[in-house]
Amino acid sequence: MADTQELEPTPLVDEEPAPLVLSPEWIDQVSDALNAGDADAVQSYVDPLPPADVADLVEALSSDERASLVRMLGDTLDGEVLAEVDGAVRDDMLDALQPEELAAAVADMESDDALEVVADLDPEQREDLLSRLPEADQVLLRQGLTYPEYTAGRLMQRDLLAIPGFWTVGDTIDFLRASSDLPDDFYDIFVVDPRHQPIGQIALSRILRNKRPVQISEIMETPLIAFAVDMDQEDLAHEFRQKDLTSAPIVGDDGRLLGVVTIDDIVDVIDEEHEDDLLRMAGVSEGDLYEAAWDTTKARFQWLLINLGTAVLASAVISMFEATIEQIVALAVLMPIVASMGGNAGTQTLTVAVRAMAMRQLNRRNAMRIVWKEVIVGGINGLAFAVIAGGFAGLWFGDAMLGIVIASAMIINMVIAGFFGVAIPISLDRFKIDPAIASSVLLTTVTDVVGFFAFLGLAALLLI
């Protein structure tokens, strides 16, 4: 047994006003305790941590250490940790939890977080888990699973506070004090009519600032901003950002109040959506860091195979001018310059366009204006770098005409890059294809093919 005194937690790095950070040395000590099988020491490390920090600790450990940590914590594991960790890491944790321990953890979670965990289970494990939960929780989770993934229905919390409009401030305060079944955290109270349809909302701060006899209907905020249960979560996040909301009611087709989405959930959505777009543009996924090497290899292989196909297409263009290259070897030296500059210019435009589409700043109304702006930018940069590259090539190889060829090809390719850097994501979006997935591959193909064809074609016309 390891010396418990040596395994005492060292202070976390605390630099005000920054949050507490788990130091590498501290994580090493937890790892040592796990490997020594010292459950008491492990518990002493974990107990003071909030769920988000426990999640960071779990992700920093190896797969075997995660399983050991989960087994040692057992039914003391805070269910919110399952909602905070990466999906691949969560799978490791679920495998280590006993069914009754998982049920206890899920029962303590907020409804939206519990739904996220339950939705990731295979059907057999899901049914076993649901059967172990209280009937009320079962009903809420089963209903939540009927909503499409990535919609407000999957995101909303079912725990909310709704009151009738004829109540007074005093009635509301008395209810809040007397009730034992309130949400853990809430920002707004929703006002409903007899059909349980929301007609207004009121912030807790406004209730506290008014006297007890004041009727709720007199001080509630109207008109109420409510969102449909099947609304895409990305669209919902956009509405929160545009309207500076902290919470919003979610309603069904009949207008009845079903749940509430709060700002902390929206922050997660914004982070996940932007991270997902960034990772997809590179052909990787969020779980790449934690998945097994073979799973990561399979996921990346498909993307690399597509890139191989586009590279073959570019090589086919080069092969069309094989005789030209044989006569002027300098062309082989200069070809990468044209393709690289076009690719980089296109990537700049593409990044701006994809972000603008995600932020709802690029739409059909201003699409053509943005396209022509990027064409102009590409043309101006093309002219500037044509002078630089053309002068460099002419001096290097002592051939002014060769400098003119690469300068002309540079202008053509950078104009094309500017155009297609916006046109490709717009076109993919029109066909309901995520621009973040395929835009970079298509753009690279266009800039490579056009760059090589323009450079080698001009060389064949002007130099031979």
Query: What domains, with CATH codes, occur in the chain?
Result: 4-150 (1.25.60.10), 162-261 (3.10.580.10), 292-462 (1.10.357.20)
> How far, CA to CA in Å, does 308 sit from each of 64, 242, 296, 311?
37, 42, 18, 5
Alpha carbons 435 and 431: distance in angstroms, whole number: 10
- The CA R_g of the chain, rounded to the nearest whole Å, is 30
Long-range CB pairs of 354-357 (<8 Å, 24+ gap) are 354/277, 354/281, 354/425, 354/435, 354/436, 354/439, 357/425, 357/426, 357/429, 357/435
> How far, CA to CA in Å, does 173 sit from each of 178, 183, 203, 209, 210?
9, 15, 13, 12, 11
Contact 410, 341 (CB under 8 A): yes
Instruction: List CB contacts of 19: < 8 A, sequence separation 6 or more.
Output: none
What per-residue confidence (pLDDT) applies to 420?
95
Place of tokens 């959506």: 273
Alpha carbons 412 and 15: distance in angstroms, whole number: 53
> In 313-323, which positions are buried (b, 16+ CB within 10 angstroms) versus exposed (e)?
ebeebbeebee
Other beta carbons less than 10 A from residue 243's beta carbon: 9
Sheet (strand 227-228) strand order: 227-228, 247-251, 257-262
Per-residue pLDDT of the chain (464 residues; tens, 9 = 90+): 444 444 444 444 444 333 356 788 889 999 999 999 999 999 999 988 999 899 999 988 988 999 999 999 988 899 899 988 988 889 889 888 999 999 999 998 988 899 999 998 989 999 999 999 999 899 999 999 999 999 999 999 998 999 999 999 999 999 999 988 888 778 899 999 999 999 999 999 999 999 999 999 999 998 888 999 999 998 999 999 999 999 999 999 999 999 999 998 999 888 887 766 666 666 655 555 566 677 777 767 877 788 788 889 989 999 999 988 988 889 999 999 999 999 999 999 998 898 888 777 888 888 999 999 999 999 999 999 999 999 999 999 999 999 999 999 999 999 999 999 999 999 988 888 878 777 888 899 999 999 999 999 999 999 97
Among 187, 149, 156, which Cα is nearest to 259's? 156
> How far, CA to CA in Å, does 147 sit from each of 95, 154, 159?
26, 6, 17
What per-residue confidence (pLDDT) applies to 183?
83
What per-residue confidence (pLDDT) applies to 327?
85
What per-residue confidence (pLDDT) applies to 13?
44
Among 417, 350, 327, 335, which Cα is nearest to 380's? 417
Alpha carbons 426 and 353: distance in angstroms, whole number: 8
CA 414 to chain centre: 31
